[in-house]
Chains A and B, each alone.
Chain A
Amino acid sequence: MPRTGSLTDDLRESEQFRRRTIVAFLVVILMVTGIVARLVYLQVVNHHHFTTQADQNRVTVVPLAPTRGLIFDRRGRVLAENLPSFTLELVPERVIDLDATINELGRYVDISQNNIQRFYDQLQRKRRHDSIAIRSHLTEEEVARFAVNRHRFPGVEINARLLRSYPYGPLAVHTIGYVGQINEKEASKVNQTNYSATSYIGKIGIEKYYETLLHGQIGYQRVETNAQGRVIEVLDSIAPKPGSNLHLTIDAELQRIAEAILGDQRGAIVAIEPATGNLLSMVSKPSYDPNLFVQGIDHATFNALNNSPDHPLFNRILRGTYPPGSTIKPIIALAALEYNKIDANTSVFCPGWYSLEGDNHRYRDWKRWGHGHTDMKKAVAESCDVFFYDIAFRLGIDHMHEYMTKFGFGSTTKVDISDELSGIMPSRQWKRDARGLPWFPGETLITGIGQGFMTATPLQLARATAAIANRGTLVTPRVVRAISENGEEATTINLIDTVSEPIILKNENHWQAVVDSMKEVVHGAHGTARKIATNSPFTIAGKTGTAQVFGIKQDENYDADDLDKRLHDHALFIGFAPIENPQIAVAVIVENGGSGSSTAAPIAYQVLHHYLTTLADYGT
């Protein structure tokens, strides 16, 4: 090799190069040591930390919604169940053009205008990445048709979900209630963790009251997912604990018959087992189909229901506060007996009207020409108003309030259904608080016949009737008598306090006097409800009521033909049977139904009759 440098130069350069190489090699060793130290730091010192992080990366906890408890009637008929349903769902965030997509979907799946409306309603309330159902209950064929074309619909998917279903539709809807999609307000109230996989919640009725029991306990699944979030493998899981099944005191068959008897009339029927407080049937008419609400009801349908003058959504059983009218007369009579204002033989002359001293206002009897000489039994049987004006005047509002309150008026019954109202049992105190006015004597008179300020719910009336049937035990009404876990026998439990304070009389014989007078209503020759029981195989104690919806001026006559139907009197009836061994107590109210004796009493009789003649089927 031609070189210009000398041999010593070359040796020197070679030696220098070797030294430099050794330095470089040492630096290399140093840097490798640095890497090794780094690896030791990552893989040994912080191994645990990074293992945790790697697991957090790959392992996702997926909440599993528990299956909602079922609702059975008294005899095991399913009133609320969960049915698998294929739902067509869209994730708005992932759909490019919603209108076009929905339009295009319509070629494969039947989508109604209602479905679309409901979808857009929900779109406003939901987050962009939430899945929103546009159709539920897809047929197998629709599922297949969509599946073939699904690649054309990004962001659209079919999910199999368990949907709440009410096989009897509107039957007992006001009692059972319904579930609907959880809204933000409800979500903030429930245990977020337990509801993290749940999309439905009880909105009303038993579904709401027993939400905690029905819902069950959430389960979890630990899954391995990749960076895109797709599930690769299920690692382990904790099964959700299904909600408890509820067994109602309601009998679906009696309920069906009671609803049929009331027919198209607006009103309510409550039937209760006096000894236990078990509610046998609860009718509020008109009604509606709870299934409409499960997936979220569309605006048009909801508005139609909500704005209907018949108020089908209104639960008349425990939120309808009506003037009870003459149905409270037995209790007023009882109070008069107790305070020695009358005895069984005390007679009042009824000329057809009553006046307070120094006041020429005439308080009229429903019978224009009067009942003549009237004792208590006759007064109850024929519903003589003048007799009760007189004893109301003599008792005074304070004593009447005392006794009416003992029978539960003016306070809620604590039934196990949500949103009950208490009605009004007026008193001096109440009037001062509510109206800022003193109590006037005339108001005492009309309170004595269940008019004026006093209002009560059908449930309160049925309960008070049961207390008379029990001769003094005021029970707490209830609709759930037992719960069961999946696949297990139902256990009867008292979910609520069922027995309240007994009503203790100064003279226990007064019960018999009151019951006798109520018997006379149905079985007496002149009883207002005598027509219903001509062939009755059992004895009935009852009381009719006809409550004024609006005041009639002093010199006017009530003439149904001239009045708008909605201003007609409400027809009421309370009663229980058999008298000796009461099995059932009922309260019936027919809004604007006319008179209690002609409209409400026959309805009540049919309910009593059906129940008592088929009693053997019911058991307890």
Chain B
Amino acid sequence: MELKENAFQRWGEQRHQSWLVRRMHLDVPLTLALIALSMTGLAMLYSAGNQDLDLVYRQILRVGLAFSAMLVIAQIPPDQLKRWSPWLAGLGIALLIAVEVAGDVGKGAQRWLDLGFFRFQPSEIMKLALPMLLAWYLADRKLPPSLKHLAASALLIAIPVTLIVKQPDLGTSILIASSGVFVIFLAGISWRLIIFLSTVFAACLPLAWLNMHDYQKTRVLTFLNPESDPLNSGYHIIQSKIAIGSGGFYGKGFLQGTQSHLEFLPERSTDFIFAAFAEELGLIGGLLLLALYLFIVTRGLVIATQAQDSYTRLLAGSLTLTFFVYVFVNIGMVSGLLPVVGLPLPLMSYGGTSMVTIMAAFGVLMSIHTHRKMIRN
């Protein structure tokens, strides 16, 4: 079979990989970029955490765990993943319901499930399980999908998203909804339908507003005018903009950020770590970091286009684009482009759960890329 080859597809193709890399099912460019990103994250954490080495050690453990997860998942062939997809999604939804019934309340939201030895958020499973479910559902149908299949897909998205919105966790539900929407988009839904649905969605926004929790409304209002409440909800975004803006072109220098080190910047080692980064390393640092993220996204899309069947294509594309949504929503929020939704910056923010999920997603990408059958010749 002859596949049309072009530069875009050929890019990053490894023909002379060592035995070890091949056996480990790793994609070298992606792995290197992820390592670089994690290292940057650890360095920034060292600064933002006021040089607290304990904090860095704990994060190193998490990074190690996350990379291990990636490595393990990369070994699983995509066919296997495809078979597990509905079951994993079913488990995820069951756990979401369990959280709804018996979950722990943390920071005003019911997100956690306490399994005795560790607490975890079932919504994290859905970040992987929902795109897998949709890709599984659509891959074996004729694409572009029919209206019937689209309606079924919409329902499959709506169930977990509704459960997560109810927790309430706006950030995660946006991510999960996007991951599902990306699958549908990549499956080839017609542009006319896209325009029609977008219009309907826009019309429904006021309805969504009415159903929002007060703190979510406050976040949106604060986003629209941070100065309206400079001491409370507006404080985060004001201080964050000051941190980024005062960093300037070259930044104040590593470990030299006043906004972060003098503790004006809240959540400086978690959700707002980009502000601390941009303060110390300036526009130059910010552009390099964005370039690194863009490289990862591009590589992910290349993997998707090189995938050999619908399931892997749709899954790889959706996971990659969801990763980008992560980055965009976080930096957009920190820089005042978007309302404050509590999403970490992938591989930079301090914290474990989301990082494991993200790296698991990259494990899926690597599995997809490295389990291709040699059918070219």
User: Contacts of A4 on B, CB cut-off 8 Å?
Assistant: 140
Contact A18 B305 (CB under 8 A): yes
Whether A16 contacts B242 in the complex (CB less than 8 A), given A43-B283, A228-B263, comes out as no
- Is residue B143 contacting chain A, with contact meaning CB distance below 8 A? yes
Least Cβ–Cβ distance between A50 and chain B, in angstroms = 3
CA of A38 to CA of B330 in the docked complex: distance in angstroms? 13
- Is residue A35 contacting chain B, with contact meaning CB distance below 8 A? yes
User: Contacts of B298 on A, CB cut-off 8 Å?
Assistant: 25
Specify the main secondary structure of chain B where it touches its partner: helix
Contact B337 A38 (CB under 8 A): yes
CA of A545 to CA of B183 in the docked complex: distance in angstroms? 115
Minimal Cβ-Cβ distance residue in B for A227: B263
Contact B262 A225 (CB under 8 A): yes
Contact A32 B246 (CB under 8 A): no
Least Cβ–Cβ distance between B291 and chain A, in angstroms = 9
Whether A227 contacts B188 in the complex (CB less than 8 A), given A21-B301, A43-B247, comes out as no
- Is residue B160 contacting chain A, with contact meaning CB distance below 8 A? no
CA of A3 to CA of B375 in the docked complex: distance in angstroms? 15
CA of A34 to CA of B324 in the docked complex: distance in angstroms? 13
CA of A161 to CA of B93 in the docked complex: distance in angstroms? 67
- Is residue B310 contacting chain A, with contact meaning CB distance below 8 A? yes
Of B278, B286, B336, which is in contact with the most chain A CB atoms at under 10 Å from its CB?
B286
CA of A54 to CA of B265 in the docked complex: distance in angstroms? 10
Minimal Cβ-Cβ distance residue in B for A1: B309
Contact A16 B294 (CB under 8 A): no
Give residues of chain B (303-324) contacting chain A, Cβ–Cβ below 8 Å.
304-305, 308-310, 313-314, 317, 321, 324
Least Cβ–Cβ distance between B266 and chain A, in angstroms = 9
Minimal Cβ-Cβ distance residue in B for A226: B262
- Is residue A14 contacting chain B, with contact meaning CB distance below 8 A? yes
Least Cβ–Cβ distance between B309 and chain A, in angstroms = 6
User: Contacts of B23 on A, CB cut-off 8 Å?
Assistant: none
CA of A283 to CA of B287 in the docked complex: distance in angstroms? 81
Of A34, A36, A47, which is in contact with the most chain B CB atoms at under 10 Å from its CB?
A47
User: Residue A28 contacts which of B186, B309, B313, B324 (CB distance < 8 angstroms)?
Assistant: B324
Least Cβ–Cβ distance between A26 and chain B, in angstroms = 11
Contact B241 A24 (CB under 8 A): no
User: Contacts of B171 on A, CB cut-off 8 Å?
Assistant: none
Least Cβ–Cβ distance between B80 and chain A, in angstroms = 13
Contact A58 B258 (CB under 8 A): yes
Give residues of chain B (1-52) contacting chain A, Cβ–Cβ below 8 Å.
1, 3
Whether A47 contacts B248 in the complex (CB less than 8 A), given A35-B337, A39-B278, A57-B262, comes out as yes
Contact A43 B313 (CB under 8 A): no
User: Contacts of A40 on B, CB cut-off 8 Å?
Assistant: 283
Give residues of chain A (445-484) contacting chain B, Cβ–Cβ below 8 Å.
none
Contact A13 B310 (CB under 8 A): yes
Contact A21 B246 (CB under 8 A): no
**Size of the chain A interface, CB-CB below 8 angstroms:** 43
Contact B244 A54 (CB under 8 A): no
User: Contacts of B328 on A, CB cut-off 8 Å?
Assistant: 31-32, 35
Contact B263 A21 (CB under 8 A): no
- Is residue B332 contacting chain A, with contact meaning CB distance below 8 A? yes
Whether A42 contacts B241 in the complex (CB less than 8 A), given A9-B142, A54-B258, A228-B263, comes out as yes
Give residues of chain A (47-62) contacting chain B, Cβ–Cβ below 8 Å.
47, 49-51, 53-54, 57-58
Least Cβ–Cβ distance between A329 and chain B, in angstroms = 77
CA of A29 to CA of B261 in the docked complex: distance in angstroms? 33
Least Cβ–Cβ distance between A222 and chain B, in angstroms = 14
User: Residue B246 contacts which of A3, A28, A51, A226 (CB distance < 8 angstroms)?
Assistant: A51
User: Contacts of B304 on A, CB cut-off 8 Å?
Assistant: 17, 21
Of A3, A42, A51, which is in contact with the most chain B CB atoms at under 10 Å from its CB?
A42
CA of A227 to CA of B236 in the docked complex: distance in angstroms? 13
Minimal Cβ-Cβ distance residue in A for B282: A43
Give residues of chain B (136-155) contacting chain A, Cβ–Cβ below 8 Å.
140, 142-144
Least Cβ–Cβ distance between B375 and chain A, in angstroms = 10
CA of A46 to CA of B244 in the docked complex: distance in angstroms? 10
Contact B245 A50 (CB under 8 A): yes
Least Cβ–Cβ distance between A41 and chain B, in angstroms = 9
- Is residue A20 contacting chain B, with contact meaning CB distance below 8 A? yes
- Is residue A232 contacting chain B, with contact meaning CB distance below 8 A? yes
Contact A16 B144 (CB under 8 A): yes
- Is residue A365 contacting chain B, with contact meaning CB distance below 8 A? no
User: Residue B244 contacts which of A7, A17, A39 (CB distance < 8 angstroms)?
Assistant: A39
User: Contacts of B79 on A, CB cut-off 8 Å?
Assistant: 1
- Is residue A5 contacting chain B, with contact meaning CB distance below 8 A? yes
User: Residue B309 contacts which of A3, A20, A35 (CB distance < 8 angstroms)?
Assistant: A3
Whether A226 contacts B245 in the complex (CB less than 8 A), given A16-B143, A24-B301, A28-B297, comes out as no
Contact A38 B297 (CB under 8 A): no
30 A/B residue pairs, CB under 8 Å, sorted by A:
A3-B309, A5-B142, A16-B143, A17-B310, A17-B313, A20-B186, A20-B188, A21-B301, A24-B317, A28-B294, A28-B297, A32-B294, A32-B328, A35-B331, A35-B332, A38-B332, A42-B241, A43-B249, A43-B278, A47-B249, A51-B245, A53-B245, A54-B246, A57-B258, A57-B259, A58-B264, A226-B261, A226-B262, A226-B264, A227-B264
Given A1-B373, A4-B140, A24-B185, 10 new contacts (CB under 8 A): A17-B313, A21-B186, A24-B321, A28-B294, A34-B337, A38-B335, A50-B241, A57-B262, A58-B262, A225-B262
- What residues of chain A have their CB less than 8 Å away from a CB belonging to chain B? 1, 3-5, 7, 9, 13-14, 16-18, 20-21, 24-25, 28-29, 31-32, 34-36, 38-40, 42-44, 46-47, 49-51, 53-54, 57-58, 224-228, 232
The 3 A-B residue pairs whose C-beta atoms are closest, nearest first, are A50-B245, A54-B246, A227-B263
- What residues of chain B have their CB less than 8 Å away from a CB belonging to chain A? 1, 3, 79, 140, 142-144, 182, 185-186, 188, 239, 241-249, 258-259, 261-264, 278, 282-283, 286-287, 290, 293-294, 297-298, 301, 304-305, 308-310, 313-314, 317, 321, 324, 328, 331-332, 335-337, 373
